[in-house]
């Protein structure tokens, strides 16, 4: 993480330091919990954005069969495939779940925290820098202590879980790729201060919790009438229960013919 020291970064660091100082000084939280509290505050601010995103995602999953059809049709030409998908969204008034802004908002927080923790390592502040007795210092590199490895394992698990909830793509290969990614990034992240991994872990766990709560609280919106091309997919509309991956229910409607053949074969076999 090589970022040039610019005045903006200095200011970000100062703001972060004020926030952490407030949590530590006023609320008497240890430094590690001050980071957790900061993460929670950031995520609370982002709630309206993410809730809207989850709604859009639920809505998007209802159109998965048709979208899969488009993806299959333009398999060779990714560009055309994207354009057709966009057209489909527009035709059906779908609001695609993904958007770049909520993700970008967290970059300044992350950078500020990184620099603050670096400062902590150089000039340790007064007070407890440990976390739950297994991380001796949140300012030290994650892998300097065995506790850091536990943190990394939780990070990977939480990152995978949050990807499951928040990755808005219906493409199965892409989803798998996104799930595997944290395994590779763990080597990069291992060099970060433990406090940063703590931030990451907390934000991921928040994402998972928020996803679970939103799904439970908000009933799924009824499907608006399905476009014509879905005549084959319409009867398979029942798989509403599996709420998780959008990719799975899509596969089923694709083979309406083969199951019939299978049944005939079975009957023949019995006779």
Partner 1 sequence: MYRLGVAAVWLYRVTWGALFPTTCKYHPSCSQYAIDALRQKGLVRGSLLAGWRLLRCNPWSHGGFDPVR
Chain residues binding partner 1 by CB under 8 A are 1, 49-50, 52-53, 56, 82-83, 85-87, 89-90, 93, 95-104, 106-107, 110, 163, 166-169, 174, 177-178, 181, 185
Nearer to partner 1, 27 or 105 (CB): 105
Q: How far is the CB of 58 from partner 1 (least distance, A)?
A: 13
C-alpha pair distances (Å), 249 with each of 129, 156, 163, 178, 216? 47, 26, 18, 19, 20
Nearer to partner 1, 1 or 45 (CB): 1
Q: How far is the CB of 65 from partner 1 (least distance, A)?
A: 19
Nearer to partner 1, 132 or 177 (CB): 177
Q: How would you class 237 by CB atoms within 10 Å of its CB: exposed for 0-12, middle for 13-18, buried for 19 or more? A: middle
Q: How far is the CB of 11 from partner 1 (least distance, A)?
A: 19
Q: How far is the CB of 167 from partner 1 (least distance, A)?
A: 6
**Is the separation of the CB atoms in 118 and 5 below 8 Å?**
no
Find residue 193's DSSP bridge partners: 141
Neighbours of 35 (CB within 10 A): 27
Task: Report the C-alpha gap between 126 and 110 in whole angstroms.
Answer: 23
Q: How far is the CB of 112 from partner 1 (least distance, A)?
A: 14
Task: Report the C-alpha gap between 31 and 126 in whole angstroms.
Answer: 10
Task: Report the C-alpha gap between 1 and 3 in whole angstroms.
Answer: 6
Q: What is the DSSP letter of 234?
A: G
Nearer to partner 1, 113 or 129 (CB): 113
Nearer to partner 1, 90 or 123 (CB): 90
């Amino acid at each position: 993480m090589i970022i040039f020291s610019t005045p903006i970064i200095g200011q970000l660091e100062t703001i972060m330091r004020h926030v952490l100082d407030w949590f530590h000084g006023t609320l008497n939280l240890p430094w590690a919990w001050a980071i957790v509290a900061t993460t929670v505050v950031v995520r609370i601010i982002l709630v309206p954005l993410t809730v809207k995103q989850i709604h859009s995602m639920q809505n998007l999953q209802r159109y998965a069969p048709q979208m899969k059809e488009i993806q299959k049709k333009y398999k060779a030409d990714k560009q055309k495939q994207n354009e057709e998908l966009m057209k489909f969204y527009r035709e059906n008034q779908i609001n695609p779940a993904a958007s770049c802004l909520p993700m970008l908002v967290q970059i300044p927080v992350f950078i500020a925290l990184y620099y603050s923790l670096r400062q902590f390592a150089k000039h340790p502040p007064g007070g407890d820098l440990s976390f739950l007795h297994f991380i001796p210092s949140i300012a030290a590199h994650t892998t300097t202590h065995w506790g850091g490895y536990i943190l990394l394992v939780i990070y990977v698990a939480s990152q995978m879980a949050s990807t499951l909830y928040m990755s808005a793509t219906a493409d199965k290969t892409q989803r798998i790729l996104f799930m595997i990614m944290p395994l590779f990034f763990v080597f990069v992240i291992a060099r970060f201060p433990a406090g940063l991994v703590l931030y990451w872990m907390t934000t991921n766990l928040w994402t998972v919790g928020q996803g679970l709560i939103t799904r439970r609280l908000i009933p799924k919106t009824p499907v608006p009438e399905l476009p014509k091309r879905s005549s084959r997919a319409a009867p398979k509309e029942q798989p509403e229960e599996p709420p998780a991956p959008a990719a799975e229910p899509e596969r089923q409607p694709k083979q309406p013919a083969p199951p019939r053949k299978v049944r005939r074969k079975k009957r023949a076999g019995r006779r």
